[in-house]
Amino acid sequence: MSAVLPIAVLITPVLPLPGGSGRALRAWDWLCELSRDHAVHVLVAAPASTVPAPPPHYPAADVRALGEVTRVTARYRRLLGLLFPPAALISRRFVLDWQVPAQGFAEAAGRGLVWPAVRRIVVFRLYLRDLGVFLSRYCPTVELELDLDDLESHTRLSVAASLLRGRRYRAAARMLASAAQYRLVEQGLGRRCRTLYLAAPEDCRHLSRRTSADVACRPNRIRMPADVAPPPRPGELRLLFVGTLDYPPNEEAARDLAQRLVPILRARLERPWRLVVVGSHAAPELAGLLRRTAEIEFIAEAADLPGLYAASHVVLVPVRAGGGTKFKTLEGFAYRRPVVSTRHGVRGLAARPGEHYLPAETAAEFAAAIHRLAGDPPLAERIAEAGRRLCYSEYRVP
């Protein structure tokens, strides 16, 4: 008779999946780790209609969507909090995006749980912290673990800069105010939490100076593809950019590619080429721009992302804002394709310019790096191989 496993509770905003968004990938890493020694109950803080069915052989004892019993704080409270950020110190109900337990939360979250058997409670994302704190009341000997992923205050400040560059002033002001809120919230994270996890070492250093909790670096990791296709044969040069396009930094990057990089490549690159942009949830105006640009192939929903990497010669990461570390960079490494990236695109990674990727900040620099890789296959092969080795040694899900 097999032993009964202790229970771990994973609270997450998305269903953990190996081939999903960045958040889904990080949540999947947690699920894989916890399921080695625990029966994992996954609580997804989202409406049931937005949570896909788990795939076959899913490594969780139970999966539940909690949309009906969690709620974002009232609109008037959020507005007051944005106008007066120190209100976040009075109550988290003034904090933008913060989720709190609603009536029936304990019953819905605890269905099927044997509280004395719970050994770990892991909350993924800062704005879900109160859900974990609420459940920890039922197992007071279990210390809460909080995966922040990125340092929310820094990320929101960075996103605000991206919005300002896009002349979206109202959204930028809202993001700046929320950055101030989260900076205040982060200072009090030492209470009720055993360990705080962040993806980027520099974020760990910043937070360690402002909290009494243990701060640990948990890098973003991905599942390495079992088979990696060799580079496509010479012919049409295919460039690839992947990113969810309702996220301002990715939207800014896609717009820069269409409006700044494409005209330079059109004038300078003699070899036939095509830029593939893959991203869901693009605003109609951005989608129209991408579709109107003759050299761009826009794919809103990618049914075969591995196939798109296999068909590409170069992966582009032109992002200038955001937080944590970038899964799109890790994917380029994992699929053994040379990556051209900004400093921000390799933020938090142990990647060295000229060895694991080619650096570029401006459209002209991206064009020069692409031209260099197109004309020097041994360099492209060397960069791609070094990136894959780095990803395998440092950032793969075991």
The series of mean pLDDT values per 10 residues for the chain, 398 residues long, is 79 90 91 95 94 93 92 84 88 90 91 90 95 91 93 96 96 95 87 88 92 91 88 90 95 97 95 95 96 96 90 97 94 97 96 98 97 95 97 91
Per DSSP, the three-state class of 96 is coil
Cα–Cα distance for residue pair 327/324, rounded to 1 Å: 9
Do 237-394 and 7-217 have the same topology in CATH?
yes
Q: Where are the beta strands (DSSP E) in 172-255?
A: 193-198, 214-217, 237-242
The confidence score (pLDDT) of residue 240 equals 98
- In CATH terms, the fold of domain 237-394 is Rossmann fold (3.40.50)
Q: Domain coordinates of the chain in residue numbers?
A: 7-217, 237-394
The confidence score (pLDDT) of residue 1 equals 34
HEC sequence for 325-379: CCHHHHHHHHCCCCEEECCHHHCCCCCCECCCEEECCCHHHHHHHHHHHHHCHHH
**Cα Rg, the chain, nearest whole Å:** 22
The confidence score (pLDDT) of residue 129 equals 93
The pTM score is 0.90
* CATH class for the domain made up of 7-217: alpha beta
> Which helix or strand (DSSP H or E) is residue 171 part of?
helix 169-186
**What is the number of alpha carbons within 13 Å of residue 22 lying toward its C-beta?**
23
The confidence score (pLDDT) of residue 72 equals 85
User: In degrees, to the nearest 5, what angle opens at C-alpha 157 toward C-alphas 152 and 159?
Assistant: 95
The confidence score (pLDDT) of residue 60 equals 96
The confidence score (pLDDT) of residue 246 equals 94
The confidence score (pLDDT) of residue 192 equals 78
Beta-ladder partners of 215:
196
Nearest by Cα to 152 from 326, 323, 347, 327: 323
Q: Where are the beta strands (DSSP E) in the chain?
A: 7-12, 39-44, 62-65, 70-72, 99-101, 118-124, 144-149, 193-198, 214-217, 237-242, 273-278, 296-299, 314-317, 339-341, 358-359
